[in-house]
Amino acid sequence: MEEVHWADVIAEDLLKRGRKHRIATGITPSGHIHVGNLREMLTADAVRRALIDKGGEAELIYIADTFDPLRKRYPFLPEEYERYVGMPLSEIPDPEGCHDNYAEHFLEPFLESLEILEIPVIVKMADEMYKKGEYEEVIRISLQRRDEIAKIIEEVTGRKLEEDWFPFMPLCEECGRINSAKVTGFDDKWIYYRCQCGHEGKASYRGGGKLTWRVDWAARWKILGITCEPFGKDHAAAGGSYDTGKRLAKEIFGIDPPYPIPYEWINLKGVGAMSSSKGIVIPVREFIEVLPPEIVRYIIIRVKPKKHIDFDPANLLELVDEFEEGLRKKDRAVELSMVGNVEYSDVPFRHLVVVGQIAKWDLEKVLEILKRTGYEIDERVRRDVERRLKYAKNWLEKFAPDKIKFEIAESVNPSIFDEKEREFLSKFAEKLREDMKPEEIHNLVYDVAKEVGIKPAKGFQAIYKAILGKNYGPRAGYFIKMLGIDWVKKRFIDVCS
């Protein structure tokens, strides 16, 4: 029996708790939001879809941690950004000057990507939530119950907190940093602080600072009514932030903690572990220019959250084969990955990569070749081919290994063939017939090689040399069919004369 998809398993669990769900996701827009971050979004979205499929109600909340401080000057930032370290991302200028602030500069392309990937999110900016007073109540609770909170954190983490610790980071009105001031006291109206810059001041409950990370996380579950949340495995470790969050939720904020979905990292081969602080990342926005959204979804949704994903963009074709196969079999992971308005024809992506190169990416020529190789071309096929051909081209240019790239040689020097190869090519041309199917053409290579007395590998090589001027190329049967029997015959006769 087929295994139930992980998203369906989680959805069933969630439905036992209730019919309506709010799934939270959160990413700090401190730099380009990269493919690794997509796991959080797609894990959440797969569960959202599964819940809806089962008759539940579900929505995705995306909290952008715009009120977090800039932790350091990242390699992609100019030197003068040194002075913004410690300031909230929402209060720092856009390094490229095109958006209202730093956070929005990195958020906008990411939110665009979510739209293309058909992940519907309700976006909450943390700085706005604080400034509008959505956190006011939980900040009061957190300050008043500081001792209990400190005790929970100490018990769970085994770490000792300082005597004067408070779960609140005041935003210093003098130096603008949100990680440098200490709370010295509070009353109904104000939170008093002393900053490392020397300033002493008072902060408002509305935007005058933020809760420390572990407390903030549990607090937002309460504010937003979160019932489920995927998060990176680091938060799930024993003594990690989910463990404290669980207790803070129950003991301080009086709520049930959300259903946790810890997930493993994604490794893009050749790109290193995906972490935005290291500088070498592929921004999501760039990635989805190269791969179709349903394939990007599938890369993540096909794998259980707890399993590590190693993905090599150069080996995309195997994955797409699997996707197309799943499409025919109505595989659940494929279903959860599909995006609306997209209808697949039965032209494999693998073919488009080859045909596109033969046709130099001209759509009409591509369709002509496909017709010649037995595909029926109607409006639907045309639309599909046009859409996926673009991706095939982008993928080939950006990620494909060289062995997949080729160019038809304008002409080939006959002197590169030995006697046997020439004999093979001319016999092969003789026997090649217009009505042959790719498989028959493939078998013909073996037959003719045997007849001439050479190894089949040498026969294939002769074919590629005659067409491409090199020893290897795409699968010969399809390739010859795509190039056109007439053209191939003529080419083989030419090089033998």
List of residues contacting Zn ion (CB under 5 A): 94, 96, 98-99, 105, 172, 174-175, 195, 197, 199
Which CB sits closer to Zn ion, 94 or 312? 94
Which CB sits closer to Zn ion, 115 or 386? 115
Residue 484 three-state SS: coil
Tell me how far, at minimum, the Cβ of 113 lies from Zn ion, in Å.
Answer: 15
Q: In the block, which residue shows the tokens 């046997």?
A: 420
Tell me how far, at minimum, the Cβ of 102 lies from Zn ion, in Å.
Answer: 8
383-386's contacts with Cβ under 8 Å and 24+ in sequence apart are 383/343, 384/342, 384/343, 384/344, 384/345, 384/347, 385/345, 385/347, 385/352
Tell me how far, at minimum, the Cβ of 122 lies from Zn ion, in Å.
Answer: 23
Which CB sits closer to Zn ion, 204 or 357? 204
Tell me how far, at minimum, the Cβ of 285 lies from Zn ion, in Å.
Answer: 12
Which CB sits closer to Zn ion, 77 or 175? 175
Which CB sits closer to Zn ion, 199 or 390? 199
Strand partners, 201: 193
Q: In the block, which residue shows the tokens 């001027």?
A: 469
Report d(CA 224, CA 126) in Å as an integer.
12
Looking at this protein, which amino acid is placed at residue 191? I
Listing DSSP states for 46-60 in one string gives HHHHHHHHTT-EEEE
Which CB sits closer to Zn ion, 145 or 199? 199
Which CB sits closer to Zn ion, 106 or 186? 106
Residue 436 three-state SS: coil
Tell me how far, at minimum, the Cβ of 142 lies from Zn ion, in Å.
Answer: 22
Compute, in degrees rounded to 10, the torsion defined by CA atoms 387, 393, 398, 404. 130
Which CB sits closer to Zn ion, 175 or 436? 175
Listing DSSP states for 290-339 in one string gives HS-HHHHHHHHHTS-TTS-EEE-GGGHHHHHHHHHHHHHTT-HHHHHH--
Which residue stretches of 338-436 are H helix? 349-358, 363-372, 379-398, 419-431
Tell me how far, at minimum, the Cβ of 129 lies from Zn ion, in Å.
Answer: 22
94-102's contacts with Cβ under 8 Å and 24+ in sequence apart are 101/66, 102/29, 102/70
Residue 231 three-state SS: strand
How many C-beta atoms surround the C-beta of residue 127 within 10 A?
A: 22
Pairing of strands 309-311, 272-273: unpaired
Which CB sits closer to Zn ion, 90 or 241? 90
Q: Are 12 and 53 in contact (CB under 8 A)?
A: no
Report d(CA 453, CA 476) in Å as an integer.
20
Which CB sits closer to Zn ion, 32 or 246? 32
What is the torsional sign of CA 286, 289, 291, 294? positive
Tell me how far, at minimum, the Cβ of 170 lies from Zn ion, in Å.
Answer: 9
Strand partners, 194: 182, 200
Token pair recorded at residue 97:
């000057």
Burial 42-73 (b: 16+ CB within 10 A, else e): bbbbbbbbbbeeeebebebbbbbbbbbbbeee
**What's the burial of 78, exposed, middle or buried (CB within 10 Å: 0-12/13-18/19+)?**
exposed
Which CB sits closer to Zn ion, 176 or 348? 176
**Chain center to CA of 479:** 32
Tell me how far, at minimum, the Cβ of 105 lies from Zn ion, in Å.
Answer: 3
Tell me how far, at minimum, the Cβ of 176 lies from Zn ion, in Å.
Answer: 7
Which CB sits closer to Zn ion, 195 or 495? 195
